[in-house]
Structure 1
Amino acid sequence: MKRIDLLLIIALLQTLSVQSQSYHLLIGTYTNPDKSQGIYSYNINLKTCAFTQQSDAKGISNPSFLALTPDKKYVYSVSENGDASSANAFQFDSKTGKLTFLNTYLTKGADPCYIATTPDHVFTANYSGGSVSVFGRKADGSLTDALQIIQHVGKSVNAERQGEPHVHQIIVSPDKKYTLVNDLGTDKVTVYAYNPLAKTDILTPVDTLNVKPGSGPRHSVFTKDGKRLYLVHEIDGTVSVLGMKNGKLKLLQETTLDRKAGTVNGAADIHLSPDEKYLYATNRGSADDITCFAVAADGKLRFKQQIPTGGKMPRNFAITPDGQYVFVGHQTTDNIVIFKRNIQTGLLRNTRKQIKVGSPVCLLFY
């Protein structure tokens, strides 16, 4: 009997080991007839190196960025397509990975490059339009027409990149009371109070932080308690640590991804590890690397590691929910490279395993 129990325990541990390396991934792309058809869902088993495409959602031009609702029932995507750009709603079956198109509305701001959602609304950050669009969410997950358009104004010091507003991201604070908008073109981070019951002024500005001129704020990530925010700047590779209290922002620290002589920066994405002990950020340009920082008790950063990402133009990346792996998507070389992550030290190691996908831009685990 004891031998049978032991064998059952061993079998259970082996099963859990396999499960711990099995993941489900949504991928938003730039569409190209020869490379990518749209949004992909993958089942990934790193134990067996089986990367199985479950489904793809075709018919949306450049669904470059995605948002998944917490209940995993709906997916929202941008369609980055100039003045014809739109926000799109899909019903999602997380068991099969199937996306069913619901509806679409124009963003009324060109080239949306980020999308976020709450139970009541969907927001897009419109890069070329320099604006934010706010859509309502219906009970069936479909979208209303845009309820609010917020147009940014201004410019900054980089004549080539910052001659007008370029809204690059909108994220929702953990307590759902605020949204934060990064404007690469004006070097500003604006906090908007979020009023989910409002009919018109759903977002109202409450604070604006002027960041370093010429830095180009791009992506940011909140800590789970909403007290700190980590912001990566595209143009010069700066990483800022910000404090937030009652909708007001305060700069706590600045460091950088730029650690090589002669590097052309193109910083892209930023994420905290699940335990919030480490921060990671990607840099494109001529760098094509990912940097790890240790996070101190006061939230400040200490450089740990910088390594090549194994491809060209590392855009979005995602950390597996268990913290074991980091998947980095490369827009130019059409691959997603998989890194093993040391949970104790935060350090990354390239596993040499990769998924071939055309122009991956956004990665979401589900």
Structure 2
Amino acid sequence: MADGGGRLGQAGRSGGSGRPGGRGLLAYIGSFTEAGGRGITVARTDPATGALTLLGSTDAVANPSYLALSPGADVLYAVSETDEGAAAAFSLADPVRPELLGPPVPVRGDGPTHLAVTGTHLFTANYGSGSVSALPVRTGGGPGAPAAVMAHRGGGPDAERQKGPHAHAVVPDPSGGRLLAVDLGTDSVWTYALDPVTGLPRLQGETPLRPGTGPRHLVFSPVNDRVYVLNELVPSVTVCRWDAARGTLEPLGETRVLPPGEGVRTYPSAPVVSADGRFLWTANRGHDSISVLALDASGDPGGVPEVVGCGGVWPRDLTLHPSGGHLYAANERSGDVAWFAVDAETGTPRCAGSVPVPAASCVVFA
């Protein structure tokens, strides 16, 4: 596995040291190779401090901007966010040295930005073509050629960003029986029912959101029926109710993720919910910040959000460590991943350090 520029084993800038031989989880960090990224970088996490220690990287796939793990965490999947659009799989038999399972497979969609594994298929959200691809997972974990491609239709009022559909994220519901696709171009969330036998998607419905908001990602609350749809074209989150029995999404209201009066053009990127459902965090590009929204017992936000710096520039992704004690921001334009200790009572993140990862775009843990 290539070291991607001679940074193999470099410790975090904070001086906190990870333990390559320790028992901390591994972090897999995606990046844009066309912007100088090293592909997929592997790092060790310190279980006490959250610090990252870089171990190595592989540039076997172009622009692996988003990553996802198989249910057994033995295969790592990556989009190849290029005009041609592809998905790839890496064996984690040696978790420190991911091994490519065959060449990347075309997804029959342009610019895939997100992917998820559920049931028997790997799904990609294809931003450029405004579609969702379903790739069967073969024996051994590698993806096959798309068995279905679902094309979205429509647009929005933003003449520059919403001339047509732009699927940006695909998220399985908690049951794994449905797939929600967030489309920035159509200002809507598309719901697909997954056939229990074939695993293939069938369009069930489309939930319209406020025109011009440009929904980008969503996250399910782990404790109630709320779904939080983060918007990119306005700095807000749309709170929805998820009816698990019917598979329907009902918008309830929209909440700003920045305090009033913030004049910087902001493009929110990623939402995260705490395991106890008390806090919603969002990463905000342009404003270069992380917002903290306190949630009530029903899962609804209240009060003015707290905002802290993201530890870098242009936070493209935000990830919560499985322990719940640390947040990680992939700061694309400053080329680093920053980690934050989270106050268990207030939800406030405090930056504790960072490591250099050029063109960083996402972080997943195994």
Q: Normalising by structure 1, report the TM-score.
A: 0.88
- Structure possessing the higher radius of gyration over alpha carbons: 1
Relative to its length, the structure with more strand (as a share) is 1
Give 2:33's match in structure 1, choosing from 6, 26, 31: 31
Distance 1:21 1:325 in 2: 16
Distance 2:23 2:233 in 1: 36
Residue in structure 2 matched with residue 209 of structure 1 by the alignment: 207
Please tell me whether the aligned partners of residues 257 and 293 of structure 2 are also in contact (alpha carbons under 8 angstroms): no
Spell out, residue by residue over 1:258-283, the C-alpha distance to the aligned partner (whole angstroms, 9 max, x if none). Answer: 42432202110001112221110011
Please tell me whether the aligned partners of residues 288 and 314 of structure 1 are also in contact (alpha carbons under 8 angstroms): yes
Give the drift of 1:134: 0.4
Aligned partner of residue 346 in structure 1, secondary structure: coil
Spell out, residue by residue over 1:186-219, the C-alpha distance to the aligned partner (whole angstroms, 9 max, x if none). Answer: 10111111114237xx111222111011000001
Structure 1 residues 20, 253: closer, same or farther in 2, change over 3 A?
A: farther
Relative to its length, the structure with more helix (as a share) is 1
Spell out, residue by residue over 1:279-331, the C-alpha distance to the aligned partner (whole angstroms, 9 max, x if none). Answer: 1001112x111101111111101244111112111010111111111111110
Residue in structure 2 matched with residue 306 of structure 1 by the alignment: 307
Distance 1:313 1:276 in 2: 26
Matched, 1:230 2:208: no
Across the aligned residues of Structure 1 and Structure 2, the Cα RMSD in angstroms comes to 2.0
Letter in structure 2 aligned against 1:266: Y
Distance 2:42 2:99 in 1: 12
Aligned partner of residue 263 in structure 1, secondary structure: coil
Distance 1:55 1:72 in 2: 19
What pairs with 1:284-323 in structure 2 (closer than 5 Å)? Answer: 284-285=285-286, 287-302=287-302, 303-323=304-324
Structure 1 residues 97, 322: closer, same or farther in 2, change over 3 A?
A: same
Please tell me whether the aligned partners of residues 175 and 226 of structure 1 are also in contact (alpha carbons under 8 angstroms): no
Residue in structure 1 matched with residue 194 of structure 2 by the alignment: 194
Q: How many residues align structurally?
A: 341
Residue in structure 2 matched with residue 100 of structure 1 by the alignment: 99
Structure 1 residues 304, 198: closer, same or farther in 2, change over 3 A?
A: same
Distance 1:275 1:49 in 2: 20
**Could you tell me the percent identity over the aligned residues?**
30
Structure 1 residues 21, 47: closer, same or farther in 2, change over 3 A?
A: farther
Residue in structure 2 matched with residue 254 of structure 1 by the alignment: 254
Distance 1:278 1:53 in 2: 29
Distance 1:105 1:195 in 2: 23
Query: Mind listing any 5+ residue stretches in structure 2 that lack a counterpart?
Result: 1-20
Matched, 1:220 2:221: no
Structure 1 residues 208, 49: closer, same or farther in 2, change over 3 A?
A: closer
Residue in structure 2 matched with residue 182 of structure 1 by the alignment: 182
What pairs with 1:62-101 in structure 2 (closer than 5 Å)? Answer: 62-82=63-83, 84-93=84-93, 96-101=95-100
Letter in structure 2 aligned against 1:342: D
Residue in structure 2 matched with residue 130 of structure 1 by the alignment: 130
Distance 2:29 2:46 in 1: 16
